Amino acid sequence: MSTKHPKGLYLLFVTEMWERFSYYGMRAIFTLYLIQALLFNKDLASNIYGSYTGFVYLTPLIGGYIADRYWGNRRSIFVGGVMMSIGQFLLFLSATFFREQSLAISFLIAGLTMLILGNGFFKPNISSMVGQLYKEEQTGMKDSAFTIFYMGINIGAFFSPLICGTLGDTGKPEDFRWGFLAACIGMIIGTMILRIFQNKYLVTPERLPIGMKPESKKEVNETKEEKKTDIKRILFFIVGEIALFAIFMLLGSDIIGAGIFSACISVPIFIITDKSLTKSERKHIWVIYIIAFFVIFFWAAFEQAGASLIYFAEEQTNRNIFGWMMPTSYFQSFNAIFIVIMAPMFSKLWFWLKLKNWEPSSPMKQAFGLRHGLISNYKSEDNHKG
């Protein structure tokens, strides 16, 4: 069996690298823009950032479902890439007209909306295509591929705060627009690279194209009774979403929070109750749900990097290095560079363990990582208190 990765992996690597360049570059300067240019207080800036990231992690459920049921991965990724490019450009316009606050806020809301929706179509579908490049029995190769793919994510995450931060985080509020424009250009590059080379490289080991529009048996064989069931299911989903939204509002959540919390319950239920799912597909979805629940705690802590840790770096960190004042946004690159350094080592480790029949399952690997992260965080807090 070949130990070489297909060229399609490196196409997805480069595409995702540019998309993450766009995302993390924007994130590195976003709350700084809200505070320094739009003159929001830290509480409001944090709420906006938190609502944005909440929806960013929610919409892949919807985007992945639409891709699997109707569009396919390729079309979903392209639509998502275009939407995110527009979203970053709208943030550029917001920062360009920051002195006219009402206009700037309008562009800001429109830009964040496009980024949220675009991410929902882009993010889950490009990741799922990595696994489709390999045969079912190539488990070790798949895990190695995802490690390499993740390294691409972090290369983009490393360079973007440096570039977008250099252009936007200058101490002059009018310069934030250049950081957002750089993020926009990165998103356009990633989307176009995939669009140009996808037909050549995104194929299975048997040279069959992947990510195409799924064959819909329902379009051919769906009876009137099945159509009625689908309509009832959609109506039930809408009623359930409204009821949950109302409950969360009564419990004291704001509108955005109630929307996120209610959708986190209703959307997974809507997906898992799809009658077209096979028993195997439904079983895999339940596994994803269980893993996703525990991973929530990691990402909730990780995304503090875009808000509270930005404030800490800005206000309580000595950034003076031999007379040069390091921009606050540069701190966003530290996490990524360590991952880039370690990713090739782990990629080789998984393959070696596979040959020895010692390789742990993917959920077990995540459990080890989550456990280590929680222990490290606990020790860090304990030392800080001490």
User: pLDDT digits over 23-60, tens only?
Assistant: 999 999 999 999 999 999 999 999 999 989 988 988 88
Is residue 229 one of the residues assigned to a domain? no
**Rounded percentage of the chain residues whose pLDDT exceeds 90:** 41
Mean pLDDT value across residues 118-136: 89
Per-residue pLDDT, 361:
74
Is the predicted pLDDT of residue 171 greater than 70, yes or no? yes
Rounded to an integer, what distance in angstroms lies between the CA atom of residue 136 and that of residue 245?
41
Is the predicted pLDDT of residue 14 greater than 60, yes or no? yes
Mean pLDDT value across residues 105-125: 94
DSSP calls for 112-154: HHHHHHHHHHHHHHHHHHHHHTS-TT-HHHHHHHHHHHHHHHH
pTM score: 0.81
With bands split at pLDDT 50, 70 and 90, how would you rate the model's confidence at 147? confident
H or E element in which residue 324 lies: strand 324-325
Per-residue pLDDT, 227:
61
Is the predicted pLDDT of residue 373 greater than 60, yes or no? no
Is residue 309 one of the residues assigned to a domain? no
Is residue 24 one of the residues assigned to a domain? yes
Number of domains in the chain: 1
Is residue 23 one of the residues assigned to a domain? yes
User: pLDDT digits over 279-302, tens only?
Assistant: 888 888 888 888 778 777 777 778
For 123, the domain range is: 7-214+328-340
Answer yes or no: are the C-beta atoms of 327 and 166 closer than 8 Å.
yes
Is residue 250 one of the residues assigned to a domain? no
CATH number of the domain encompassing residue 168: 1.20.1250.20
Is residue 20 one of the residues assigned to a domain? yes
Is residue 122 one of the residues assigned to a domain? yes
Per-residue pLDDT, 158:
93
Per-residue pLDDT, 229:
65
Answer yes or no: are the C-beta atoms of 263 and 116 closer than 8 Å.
no
Is residue 99 one of the residues assigned to a domain? yes
Q: Which of 64-78, 213-227, 370-384 has the highest mean pLDDT?
A: 64-78
